[in-house]
């Protein structure tokens, strides 16, 4: 029974790491990346819609994104949503496609983004700790129900802590890599 708890915990924590990695794809680093636009919603006939559901997004050059809307009448709304986002990008609309030039980041903006990446890492560590707490609560319930002895509970909780420590180190590694990527000129 306790092995199931450990496997479930590892699966949840793996998903948390994947969520952090996805979150990091939306933080701009000075290179064009289609995922940068994933959090932007466009008011499309009264419905907030992700850009990638309204248009094809390509990266023709390392620092350029090209957006080709399937419905050309939505181009102005897409442009407006990008302009209003916190990405600091200035769209250029020629009626056929919207081009986004990803400017080189200033030192100040790099530090700001690195701080944002660090804050995200801390939030995801809190998620891991909550998952650890839930796993330990499940183990305590098993002991209370008589399915685990006190010694087995202690061993299982030690294993939960080892799993948590391993995933926290992984978050730290992902965060350091992202911060290095952001600070790269």
Q: Are 97 and 110 members of one domain?
A: no
pTM of the predicted model as reported, rounded to 2 decimal places? 0.73
Average pLDDT over residues 152-163: 93
Residue 11 and residue 86: Cα distance in Å, rounded?
Answer: 33
Torsion sign (Cα): 107, 112, 116, 121: positive
Q: Are 43 and 77 members of one domain?
A: yes
Total domains in the chain come to: 2
Is the pLDDT at 37 greater than 90? The verdict is: no
Q: Are 71 and 22 members of one domain?
A: no
Q: Are 94 and 42 members of one domain?
A: yes
**Can you tell me whether residue 39 is helix, strand or coil?**
coil
The CATH number of whichever domain residue 9 belongs to comes to 1.10.132.20
Q: Are 11 and 47 members of one domain?
A: no
Q: CB-based contacts of 12: which residues, under 8 Å, 6+ apart?
A: 131
Is the pLDDT at 1 greater than 50? The verdict is: no
Residue 23 and residue 16: Cα distance in Å, rounded?
Answer: 10
In tens, the pLDDT along 133-156 reads: 999 999 999 989 988 889 999 999
- Would you give the distance in Å from CA 165 to the centre of its chain? 20
């Amino acid at each position: 029974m306790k092995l199931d708890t450990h496997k479930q915990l590892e699966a949840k924590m793996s998903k948390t790491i994947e969520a952090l990695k996805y979150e990091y794809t939306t933080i701009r680093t000075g290179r064009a990346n289609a995922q940068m636009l994933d959090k932007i919603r466009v008011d499309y006939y009264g419905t907030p819609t992700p850009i990638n559901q309204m248009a094809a997004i390509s990266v023709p050059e390392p620092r350029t994104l090209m957006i080709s809307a399937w419905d050309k009448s939505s181009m102005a709304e897409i442009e407006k949503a990008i302009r209003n986002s916190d990405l600091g990008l200035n769209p250029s609309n020629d009626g056929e496609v919207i081009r986004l030039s990803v400017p080189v980041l200033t030192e100040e903006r790099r530090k700001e983004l690195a701080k944002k990446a660090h804050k995200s890492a801390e939030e995801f560590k809190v998620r891991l700790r909550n998952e650890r707490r839930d796993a330990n609560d499940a183990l305590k319930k098993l002991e209370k129900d008589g399915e685990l002895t006190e010694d087995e509970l202690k061993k299982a909780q030690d294993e939960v802590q080892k799993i948590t420590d391993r995933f926290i180190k992984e978050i730290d590694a992902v965060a350091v890599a992202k911060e290095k990527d952001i600070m790269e000129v």
